[in-house]
Copies of this chain bind each other. A is one copy, B any other.
């Protein structure tokens, strides 16, 4: 980490570059997006990217890290003013899904890109995602549950269902908050009618 000797220039296109990388990595995946795809809309040449990043993987790592930062902040803010454990979990799910489906391209990258697909930075990505999911570990821990309930299974089911919605969600027709609330409701209320 060699600090810059001087303040960055105001006309530098790094932010635009990251935005476009997030957009494309999120919608086409890592392997499905080329360096030239990314720099095209930023009016940059392929080689210029390597002033900012040593490799394509490092660009992904930067986007991924920013994605975790944004969605973590978003969820933390949503949970903050809620008291009841179930309300807190529901608020977190709503914020998670809104960020994922309706707000941030960066969040999409975090959910879409599989760390195992990018060996060079795989463990780093896993660590970032684990750090984020720890929020949900805490939220489920605080839940008043029947004895014997497997909290890990509960968390994996909820997050899995939320994340998978990325594959079928239709903007405009579906509503992220409604989906999230629907999932939580299915867990709270009994479905069995015997």
Check A188–B182 contact: CB distance below 8 A.
Answer: no
Query: Interface size on A (CB < 8 Å)?
Result: 39
Confirm or deny: A86 has a beta carbon within 8 angstroms of a beta carbon on chain B.
yes
Given B145, B159, B186, which contacts A153 in the complex, CB threshold below 8 Å?
A: B186
Closest chain B residue to A157 by CB distance? Answer: B161
Q: Could you tell me the dominant secondary structure of chain A's interface residues?
A: helix
Q: In chain A, residues 142-194, which have Cβ atoms closer than 8 Å to a Cβ of chain B? A: 143-146, 149-150, 153-154, 156-165, 167-168, 179, 182-183, 186-193
Chain B: minimal CB distance from A97 (Å): 11
Return chain B residues, CB-CB under 8 Å to A192: 86, 188-189
Tell me, yes or no, whether A31 is within 8 Å of chain B by CB.
yes
